[in-house]
């Protein structure tokens, strides 16, 4: 076994129940784009919640997962069940809505946390937002998908952005032409949205990745 600098040693060999639990956590994250709750793990493995909680604590002590106390969807996989190599996953907030004049990361606006590869969010502050509607399907974004967004007040021509237009949030492609600004859908069934001089357009961030929805 390999030892940490201080404290408990990391156990390199997983027991079969621990491996099944770790695989269940990884599979859930892969399918849903967020970490499972203890109850969801218990239902998946057909174990009691208390039993799953104790097993998660063992995985945490041995350096396979980390979690934030008091948060139901905060499990982060540090070491994979398959190859036990260190993997770079970090959590970003999953927000419910984007509303003008309302703090984006206010506690009441957070649905949970999303695990993403650290290379996706190398610089800047990021958040995740679940998409509703089919206006961006030709850009690979369907209803129920989760977009990963880097917070920034400016964006370039053709960037896909999360924007507030007259206090209404939308995910669209930003388009500049001859001094005119519009928000373009990626679906021929939807019309472009022109932005006039009296409109209030605010860029919340740029979409940097997309996670497929669970259904």
- Say what the pTM is: 0.61
- Among 135, 142, 191, 206, which one carries the catalytic annotation? 135
Catalytic residue, from 119, 172, 182, 206: name it. 172
- 78-121 pLDDT, tens digit per residue, is 777 775 454 566 788 888 877 666 667 767 678 888 878 777 78
pLDDT at residue number 144: 86
Statement to judge: residues 24 and 44 lie in one domain: yes
Query: Encoding tokens for residue 26?
Result: 């990884």
Please check whether residues 72 and 116 belong to one and the same domain.
no
Residue 43 has pLDDT above 70, yes or no: yes
Pair 144, 81 in one domain: no
Of residues 22 and 68, which shows the higher confidence score? 22
Tally of CB atoms within 10 A around 17: 14
pLDDT band at 72 (very low <50, low <70, confident <90, very high): confident
Are both 193 and 126 inside the same structural domain?
A: yes
Q: Tell me the CATH number at 154.
A: 2.10.109.10
Per-residue pLDDT, 115: 78
Per-residue model confidence (pLDDT) at position 51: 92
pLDDT at site 214: 56
DSSP 64: S
| Same domain (yes/no): 173, 151 | yes
Is 80 exceeded by the pLDDT of residue 9?
A: no
Q: What is the pLDDT of residue 126?
A: 92
pLDDT at residue 173 greater than cutoff 90: yes
Same domain, 78 and 112: no
At residue 84, the pLDDT reads 46
Q: For residue 212, is pLDDT > 90?
A: no
SS3 label, residue 57: helix
Q: Residue 150 pLDDT > 80, yes or no? A: yes
Q: How many domains does the chain have?
A: 2
Rounded alpha-carbon distances, angstroms, from residue 43 to 38, 133, 179, 190: 9, 30, 56, 41
Asked if the model's pLDDT at residue 5 lies above 50, the reply is no
Q: Say whether both 80 and 160 belong to one domain.
A: no
Element (H, E) at 128: strand 126-130
- The answer on pLDDT for 164 being more than 80 is yes
Clarify whether residues 139 and 115 are in a common domain: yes
Q: Are residues 104 and 41 in the same domain?
A: no
Of 87, 111, 129, the residue at which a domain comes to its end is: 87
135 catalytic? Reply is: yes
The reported pLDDT for the residue numbered 178 is 84
- pLDDT at residue 4 above 80? no
Residue 102: predicted pLDDT: 67
Q: Which two tokens stand for residue 175?
A: 């388009």
Q: What is the dihedral of CA 74, 66, 214, 204, to 10 degrees?
A: 50
Specify whether 140 is located in the same domain as 66: no
Range of the domain at 101: 92-211
Q: Looking at residue 80, what is its pLDDT?
A: 75
**66 in the same domain as 46:** yes
**Residue 73: band (very low, low, confident or very high) from pLDDT cuts 50, 70, 90:** confident
Alpha-carbon gap, residue 176 to 9, rounded angstroms: 57
Q: Which of 26, 61, 87 represents a domain boundary (last residue)?
A: 87
Longest dimension (CA), the chain: 65
CATH of the domain at 80: 1.10.10.10
Burial call 167-204: b when 16+ CB within 10 Å, e when fewer: eebbbbbbbeeeeebbbbbbeeeeeebebeeeeebebb
Cα gap 33→117, rounded to integer Å? 11
The reply to whether 55 and 156 lie within a common domain is: no
> Which of 87, 119, 142 represents a domain boundary (last residue)?
87
Residue 86 tokens, joined: 């260190």
């Amino acid at each position: 076994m390999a030892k940490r600098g201080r404290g408990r040693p990391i156990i390199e060999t997983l027991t079969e129940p621990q491996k099944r639990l770790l695989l269940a956590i990884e599979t859930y994250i892969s399918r849903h784009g967020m970490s499972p709750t203890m109850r969801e793990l218990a239902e998946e493995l057909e174990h009691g919640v208390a039993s799953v909680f104790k097993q998660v604590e063992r995985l945490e002590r041995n350096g396979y997962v980390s979690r934030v106390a008091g948060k139901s969807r905060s499990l982060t996989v540090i070491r994979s069940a398959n190859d036990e190599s260190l993997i770079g996953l970090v959590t970003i907030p999953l927000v419910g809505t984007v509303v003008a004049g309302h703090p984006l990361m206010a506690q009441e606006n957070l649905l949970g946390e999303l695990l993403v590869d650290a290379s996706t969010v190398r610089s800047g502050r990021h958040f995740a937002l679940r998409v509703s509607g089919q206006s961006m399907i030709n850009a690979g974004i369907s209803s129920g998908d989760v977009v990963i967004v880097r917070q920034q007040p400016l964006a370039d021509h053709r960037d896909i952005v999360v924007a507030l237009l007259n206090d209404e949030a939308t995910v669209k492609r930003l388009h500049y032409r001859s001094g005119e600004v519009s928000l373009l859908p990626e679906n021929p069934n939807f019309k472009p949205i022109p932005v006039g001089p009296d409109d209030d357009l605010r860029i919340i961030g740029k979409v940097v990745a997309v996670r497929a929805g669970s259904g």
